[in-house]
Amino acid sequence: MMVRMAGEGDVASMTGAATETGVVLGGLGSPPTLGAVVELVGDPTRDEVRLPNRPESAATARRLAEAVLRQGWAAPATTAEHAVLLVSELVGNAVRHTGASTFGLRMHRRRGRLRVEVRDPSRGLPCLLPVTEMDTSGRGLWLVDRLADRWGVDLLPRGKSTWFEMRLPDPR
């Protein structure tokens, strides 16, 4: 398996423009092309993309997921928006809670399903906590639980893979 490390000069360091769904790459608010994103960061549909454990990696992962979902797989807008949000939440958890220097991102599409995996070397399990209106943090897994069709954690010999699945219509 090939693993590519995204770092300085990756998608997160490119200029962006604000939109309703967040920041997108490119001038004048145009989203990045899938080819440009994959060339800079790697293709999470073929290999695990390694990202550094820093807050900016959540933005990189969002942009990468958005490019794959919208351009590569022509996902419906709502599905893409929900999946990008959940990618951000899982990556944010990896950055905040694992203490790892890097983590990996993979995206799979099989038989009408999208599966996203965030892998890290920590064997600490994430906890789904109850949330209230006044909570200012701790909503990540709650969102995953509400928006994904399924989610879970697979323990690996050296760490874990936290994943979610959503329905994704096959291309026509």
Angle at 146 between CA 142 and CA 152, to 5 degrees: 70
> How far apart are the C-alpha atoms of 60 and 55, rounded to whole Å?
9
What is the distance in angstroms between the CA of the first residue and the CA of the last residue of the chain? 30
> How far apart are the C-alpha atoms of 48 and 134, rounded to whole Å?
37
Q: What is the CATH number of domain 32-167?
A: 3.30.565.10
* pTM flag (> 0.85): no
- For the chain, what is the radius of gyration of the CA atoms? 15
The pLDDT, as a whole number, for residue 5 is 45
The pLDDT, as a whole number, for residue 170 is 77
Domain boundaries, the chain: 32-167
Say if residues 26 and 64 touch (Cβ distance below 8 Å). Answer: no
Taken in order 125, 128, 132, 138, the sign of the CA dihedral is: positive
E strands within the chain? 3-5, 16-19, 22-25, 48-52, 102-110, 113-120, 150-156, 159-167
Top pLDDT among 31 and 136 is at 136
User: Mean pLDDT, the chain, as a whole number?
Assistant: 82
> How far apart are the C-alpha atoms of 17 and 116, rounded to whole Å?
26
Tens of pLDDT, residue by residue over 82-111, are 999 999 999 999 998 888 899 999 999 999
Min mean pLDDT across 11-25, 117-131, 148-162 is at 11-25
The pLDDT, as a whole number, for residue 137 is 72
Cβ neighbour number for residue 84 with a 10 Å cutoff: 24
Of 120, 76, 74, 67, the closest CA to residue 97 belongs to 120
